[in-house]
């Protein structure tokens, strides 16, 4: 990596480094978190805007730049193409940023990274002069049009158009480009939603109650969360409404023995513990040691004692028996692309099949640990049937009637009942675009002893 120099704009330079790191497989969220440790709140917010905005509009930016470049932008070196994208995003999407400032900084960065400053300067100035002459894909090729205008990979656009139709698919793509709201969940062990909201309002937070979750608040604007008294007191944790509904579907009771099979960073594990009134036992499995630390940190801050973080592989874990099991399965994450726009460019269609195989192994293994009469919820944050309905159908077929689907609506808030389809599956996408895209299925293990007694009584006439 080239050495930065003092004349460059540090926030823009850091945004460039993060974009470049993402191309090498770096996790954008982690890279941004590291940047927050160095930059103040204002610069950190600007870096976040630049990185996520560029990634959210990547295909459109490349298409626009390619109108005036002698070669496709994607074929130039990684530093140069990211400098161009970063500047083009500011030119077309950030009205408060003067074009001259964006172009001048891009040119200075190009002197250090990529060494093609003349090309960068000339292309960007031409783009500014001729922005009204840009042509976009037409309706004759709907996949290309949607892929470019909304910056999603063509393979995903093709899948959604085939599944939902062009109009619905376009709505979904458009919603993915709207910045996701920040939602928190009240820790009912320490506060009510009303008490939490009052505390937040007293410190300048603009918050409103969530429509589907009875314990959620959407933060319209807020100071940094860690500076809030309620955060230090452990009154809330950041968690989208859809994820909150998954824990409600499982509906554990105080005193239960519960397994959270894929638990990090602990959002659902802590919610389950709260629903259990911190009474009972909750084993939280995680196969990554660093991620396991996040579970402990969240439990400590929220004041939760019953969660036992356990470093184990959910596809092989075979200890104990449980009243309730949650499997928030590792998945393609296509339901959270609005929060993680870098995922659009790192995920592949082939990965869906690979994930499905892992999901089936985890489900089949953990289901063996469920007590007769117990309940299991399988959930993902993806939209694709191969990772959702198909996994459940395959599992139910394999287990020969030992498990059956259970209608989750009686465990959900009344408003959320509309998110459950005729088969009993929870879908928050595209039905509720203000939430992340989640899937959930609730199953119960049949009580074999009870079934046998019923059979005997029927056969003997008793």
Contact 66, 73 (CB under 8 A): yes
Contact 177, 58 (CB under 8 A): no
DSSP symbols for 295-347 = HHHHHHHHT--SEEEEE--TTT-----EEEEEEE-----GGGTTT-TTHHHH-
CA distance linking residue 237 with residue 305, whole number of Å: 16
CA distance linking residue 303 with residue 434, whole number of Å: 30
Backbone region of residue 247 per phi and psi (left: phi > 0; alpha: psi in -120 to 50; beta: other values): alpha
- Catalytic residue, from 331, 381, 418, 459: name it: 381
CA distance linking residue 254 with residue 280, whole number of Å: 6
Neighbours of 25 (CB within 10 A): 7
DSSP symbols for 169-226 = HHHHHHHHTSPPPEEEEE-TTT--HHHHHHHHHHTT-EEEE-SS-TTEEEEEE-S-GG
Query: Which residues on neighbouring strands pair with residue 183, listed in sequence order?
Result: 218
Token code pair at residue 286: 């995680």
Helix (H) or strand (E) holding 281, with range, is strand 281-286
Please indicate whether residue 381 is annotated as part of the active site.
Answer: yes
**Residue 54 burial (C-beta neighbours within 10 Å; 0-12, 13-18, 19+):** buried
Q: Which residues are catalytic, by number?
A: 381
């Amino acid at each position: 990596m080239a050495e930065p120099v003092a004349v460059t704009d540090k926030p823009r330079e850091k945004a460039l480094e993060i974009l470049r790191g993402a191309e090498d497989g770096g996790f954008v969220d982690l890279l941004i978190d590291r940047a927050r440790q160095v930059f103040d709140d204002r610069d950190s917010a600007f870096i976040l805007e630049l990185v996520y905005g560029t990634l959210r509009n990547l295909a459109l930016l490349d298409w626009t730049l390619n109108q005036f470049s002698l070669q496709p932008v994607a074929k130039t070196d990684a530093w140069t193409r990211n400098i161009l994208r970063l500047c083009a995003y500011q030119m077309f999407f950030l009205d408060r940023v003067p074009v001259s400032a964006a172009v001048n900084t891009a040119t200075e960065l190009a002197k250090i990274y990529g060494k093609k400053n003349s090309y960068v300067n000339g292309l960007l100035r031409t783009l500014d002069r001729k922005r009204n002459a840009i042509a976009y894909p037409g309706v004759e090729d709907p996949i290309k049009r949607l892929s470019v205008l909304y910056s999603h990979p063509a393979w995903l656009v093709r899948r959604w158009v085939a599944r939902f139709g062009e109009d619905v698919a376009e709505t979904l793509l458009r919603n993915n480009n709207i910045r996701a709201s920040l939602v928190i969940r009240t820790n009912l062990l320490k506060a009510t939603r009303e008490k939490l909201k009052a505390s937040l309002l007293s410190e300048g937070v603009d918050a409103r109650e969530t429509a589907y979750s009875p314990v959620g608040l959407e933060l319209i604007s807020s100071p940094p969360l860690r500076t809030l008294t309620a955060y230090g007191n452990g009154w809330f944790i950041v968690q989208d409404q859809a994820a909150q509904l998954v824990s409600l579907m499982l509906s554990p009771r105080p005193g239960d023995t519960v397994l959270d099979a894929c638990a990090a960073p602990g959002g659902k594990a802590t919610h389950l513990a709260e629903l259990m009134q911190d009474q009972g036992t909750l084993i939280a499995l995680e196969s990554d040691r660093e991620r396991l630390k996040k579970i402990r940190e969240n439990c400590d801050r929220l004041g939760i004692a019953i969660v036992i973080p356990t470093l184990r592989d959910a596809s092989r874990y075979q200890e104990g028996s449980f009243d309730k099991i949650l499997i928030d399965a590792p998945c393609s994450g296509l339901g959270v692309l609005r929060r993680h726009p870098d995922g659009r460019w790192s995920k592949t269609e082939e990965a869906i099949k690979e994930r499905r195989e892992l999901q089936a192994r985890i489900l089949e293994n953990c289901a063996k640990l469920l007590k007769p009469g117990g309940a299991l919820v399988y959930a993902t944050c993806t939209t694709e049937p191969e990772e959702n309905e198909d996994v459940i159908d395959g599992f139910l077929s394999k287990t020969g009637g030992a498990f059956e689907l259970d209608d989750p609506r009686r465990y959900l808030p009344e408003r959320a009942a509309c998110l459950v389809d005729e088969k009993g599956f929870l879908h928050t996408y595209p039905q509720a675009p203000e939430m992340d895209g989640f899937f959930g299925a609730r199953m119960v293990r049949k009580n074999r002893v009870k079934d046998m007694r019923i059979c005997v009584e029927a056969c003997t006439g008793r």
